[in-house]
Chains A and B, each alone.
Chain A
């Protein structure tokens, strides 16, 4: 079942919306950051307090409206190797190949996309050599050729989805 079709869009208060927008941009680095956030929100006409910010933020995390909160590390700085890769999977084999590809623990994300190359996944490993090993293993398991598109240059990374 398509996950996108089954997930309900959440009803959000003005405070929640303000928090989601502000916190996507970033949290100040100081001893009491949520007091700063409360001040900023109050300045935007959303009257609130440090405690209320903490309570609402905890609730947003609990309900998984926010999937992560904290430092976003540059994955490549953590010493690993990464690539984006794709397969052109025959429609009748799609389910089987999904299982085969997902069975590798080095596959972090995998998306179905509407194209001849209809399966796109991120491989994350400790080393470049391991990337090549995983690609070889996927090719052997699926009997398909992997399209390997590692990043050559990063021009921008920064997700901001205003609500």
Chain B
């Protein structure tokens, strides 16, 4: 479980300084870690070792670039949501997460009767058709483990086994940062 692993990831003051120094980005110069070493007042070897250690502990997920989805043509994203049998969610959550086009995959709580979905998987595409195809590929994988609920028509409840919520507008977007 994610919560328990984080407890072993208490940060040292140096590690906190490292995060504060690099969370806005890595300098794009010939020797980027030298710049960090100078700021932290340690050697470049120490910075490299610290970086590798943070990566190994999962505190750094990866050192990478994040493109603006829209500028590189990915104008469509779908949050696919699924009502998966609780006994199967571990296995099938992992399997959905392994699909190459899924960027995030989480188990989240249901809130019956309004919200019956417990598995969330994000997909991204260049057009509507592309994300529809991804949705149907996930559906194929999950078909046998989706919950079929008897809808109670007297309460006007109609609970589907899955849905896809496409984003139609970004209302706010800021980064998550460690505070000074």
Contacts and interface: CB of A to CB of B under 8 A. Distances in A.
Given A33-B32, A77-B59, A156 B98 contact: yes
Majority secondary structure, A binding face:
mixed
Interface string A152-163: 111111111101
Interface of B: 1-2, 6, 9, 11, 19, 22-26, 28-34, 44, 48, 51-52, 54-55, 58-75, 79, 89-90, 93-94, 96-98, 100, 102-109, 111, 114-115, 120, 124, 163, 165-176, 178-179
Contacts of A76: 2, 6
Interface residues of A, number: 83
Interface in A106-149: 107-115, 117, 119-122, 124, 126, 147-149
A3 B34 CA distance: 38
Contact of B106 (A69, A122, A154, A161): A154
Contacts, number: 256
B31 A71 contact: no
Contact of A113 (B73, B79, B100): B79
Interface of A: 2-4, 7-10, 12, 19-20, 23-27, 29-35, 50, 54, 57-58, 60-61, 63-80, 82, 84, 98, 101-102, 107-115, 117, 119-122, 124, 126, 147-161, 163
B71 A119 contact: no
A161 to B, nearest CB: 5
